Amino acid sequence: MEIDKIKAELKNPDFQYRLKAIAALKDYESEVAVPLLTSLLHDSEFLVRSFVARGLGSQQSAESFAGLIQIMKFDDTPNVRAEAANSLSLFGRVAVSHLVLTFYQDDHWLVRRSILAAIADMNCPEELFDICVQGLKDEDFTVQESSVDALGLLADSTLHVAALSQILSLVNAESWRMRVRVAYALKRFEQPEAKTALNQLRQDKDHRVIGAALEELLPQ
């Protein structure tokens, strides 16, 4: 799409046209694309703002980085903030401190799960452990589950002892769903205490926990 047409469509009252114009900006350099994307940071349609966040992630510049931080901190729609967090993670290590800070400041489950997933892919064990411990305190159960899953990813890191300690504290969790997540996480660790805890879960009162703990031992 020609740039003049993109500029015109970005002002179209029908947001579907604005979405198509945003998608077309992927073919342009950041000097052209980013100012147009950031002009829509406060668009009335959350889908448009979500597309803007995605677009800024693929147009890596100081301006797009700043725009994503603004979206992640101030947008009033969790889906858009989560999209911004995902895009910000594409900038690598420079984004980590901003993602961690947002994890502490934004308690929406979707944003927190997006940040957990992003940092889990960024080889930042200290920061991942930090937000996992915070996530275990979350009122939302899916954030707690995601935190346990992410702690399991630290089994081969320098923080494996601390991560295992956090997981072991949940072996007797009241929720069977949590004990299932704990079982899967424990399988990543080779320490004797992990094996002992896994054996305990193989005798759990809930058959779903037993199944998770025994899974790799059962014939396929």
Domains (range + CATH), the chain: 1-122 (1.25.10.10), 124-220 (1.25.10.10)
Percent of the chain with pLDDT over 70: 98
Percent of the chain with pLDDT over 90: 95
What are 37-73's pLDDT values in tens digits? Answer: 999 999 999 999 999 999 999 999 999 999 999 999 9
The residues, ordered by sequence, that sit 6+ positions from 95 with a Cβ below 8 Å of its Cβ are: 65, 88, 89
Average pLDDT over all residues of the chain: 95
User: What's this model's pTM, rounded to 2 decimal places?
Assistant: 0.92
Residues constituting the chain? 220
pLDDT at 79 exceeding the cut of 70? yes
Phi, psi of 60 (to 5 degrees): -80, 115
What are 200-210's pLDDT values in tens digits? Answer: 999 999 999 99
pLDDT at 80: 98
Distance CA 220, CA 214 (A): 12
